[in-house]
Structure 1
Amino acid sequence: MSTEGTTLDHAARVRAHQRRTAAVQWIRRTHGWFGLWGAVLGLLFGFSGIWLNHRNVLKLPQAQERTRAQLALPDPVPETPEAMSQWLQGALRMSGPPNSTRIEAARPVAWADRSDKTAPALTQPAHWVFNFGGPNEIVQAEYWHGNRSVGVATTHNGFVATLTNMHKGGGMPLPWILLVDTLAGSLIFLSLSGVALWMLTHRRRRVGLALFGASLFAVLALALSAL
């Protein structure tokens, strides 16, 4: 019985070792593929992130060029934001609709004198803002309801400013946003799989847990101190 029990224990240890080895191999391969998928975006976000964090010291030239113009409205004037958006797309020769639109309804002005009840209420007209373009060129059209023209501000960005806009998602389409979401998911998986690989391939787990705990404590301490 003792020999049979020893054999069963040995077989169980072998199976456990095989499962452990298979898990390590799968995590390692998947870790590598996820890292390869996010390598280019990681370099892009790493470079632009360093510059954003230290832009007061690393004064890299952004080479931005801004121009402003007034665009006369047609007759009749588009009455809705949707109609204005379609007209602006054609008038500005944009390849697509606005990336974002901000609609502010008409409202009373905050600085109006309310002591005279007989005076007519001062109202700020409706304000529409349409943002076109991409990371290298941003076109913003601003319309105040009642005007006969639209203010158009165009910003041409250099290489560094373009990377910054790509990092922040400024002027980027929905596919880019979804692509960046996959990078965020990859980073989450890489973090978890990295911890799992360390735990499965190192016996000195207390050292790893201590290092992980110190990192977590530092992050929480810095985050809470900034609140």
Structure 2
Amino acid sequence: MTVRTVDKGAFLRRLRKLHGWLGLWGAALGLLFGITGFLLNHRQVMKIPAMQMHESQFQLAIQQPVLPDPQAFGRWAQQGLHLRHAPYKAGVESPKPVIWQGVTVPQPVRLKAEFHLPQVSYTTEYVMGNSFVSVRQQEVNTLGLLMRLHKGVGMNTGWVLLIDSLAGAMVTLSITGILLWTRMRRSRLTLAGLGLGSMGLAVFFALQSM
């Protein structure tokens, strides 16, 4: 009995330390998302300029023909725009022929590639046979940048992993918090298990009914 009590006490002390450090990490990231969420939620009261998007278009000259390969075109557009980010989406589009005055006119193949950065997006399009690539650039203001950061739009893998660490910390905090509340007592563990099981079933049936 004594050994079991000591082991349980040591486990709870380690669990409390883990809970505290994860709480500190979650609080730091939660503060960042809380501030951006607060600004977005009260942008009208605080008279923050509404999200605005400035759109412009330009062309990139092509020195040699481009093959109908969306991945190769995406790499070409990335180099042409001097971007470090790989294309968010790259694809090929084969439009249906158009009937003009009773004559079927075939339409050229189009290659497209999209790039999304925190404050700017690029949509590139190349029509097979042209000597240029059309580029549409969309820049957002400060509020748009906050919204993109909050949603993770255009962010790199490091930012995604950072958000995943916050999600993992919240899940672990919930588990350690429940274990600390139960103090590893069988009656409280049973009660917590029943409560979580009931909540899980409620969520499951709610999703099934949607």
Interval of TM-score (by shorter of Structure 1 and Structure 2): 0.7 to 0.9
Structure 1 gap ranges (5+): 1-11
Match of 2:29 in 1: 41
Distance 1:221 1:160 in 2: 38
Paired residues of 1:166 and 1:172 also in contact (CA < 8 A):
yes
Deviation at 1:42, TM superposition (A): 2.3
Root mean square deviation of aligned Cα = 3.8
Match of 1:4 in 2: none
Structure 2 gap ranges (5+): none
Q: TM-score, normalised by structure 1?
A: 0.68
SS in 1 for 2:115: strand
Percent identity of paired positions between Structure 1 and Structure 2: 28
Q: TM-score, normalised by structure 2?
A: 0.72
Distance 1:213 1:25 in 2: 27
Match of 1:73 in 2: 61
Match of 1:126 in 2: 110
Question: Which amino acid counterpart does residue 153 of structure 1 have in structure 2?
Answer: R
Question: Matches of residues 128-167 of structure 1 in structure 2 within 5 Å?
Answer: 128-132=112-116, 134-167=117-150
Aligned residues: 205
Paired residues of 1:49 and 1:167 also in contact (CA < 8 A):
yes
Q: Is the aligned partner of 1:187 residue 2:170?
A: yes
Deviation at 1:20, TM superposition (A): 1.8
Q: Is the aligned partner of 1:92 residue 2:75?
A: no
Distance 1:184 1:201 in 2: 25
Deviations 1:55-113 (A, max 9, x none): 9x99964433322213142232433445544443444343x14342321243646xx67
Question: Which amino acid counterpart does residue 172 of structure 2 have in structure 1?
Answer: F
Question: Matches of residues 12-27 of structure 1 in structure 2 within 5 Å?
Answer: 12=1, 14-27=2-15
Alignment CA distance shift 1:208-1:221 (3 Å): same
Q: 1:198 aligns with which of 170, 174, 181?
A: 181
Question: Which amino acid counterpart does residue 88 of structure 1 have in structure 2?
Answer: A
Alignment CA distance shift 1:129-1:88 (3 Å): closer
Paired residues of 1:64 and 1:155 also in contact (CA < 8 A):
no
Distance 1:35 1:211 in 2: 23
Alignment CA distance shift 1:106-1:42 (3 Å): same
Alignment CA distance shift 1:156-1:126 (3 Å): closer
Distance 1:102 1:202 in 2: 55
Q: 1:176 aligns with which of 159, 166, 173?
A: 159
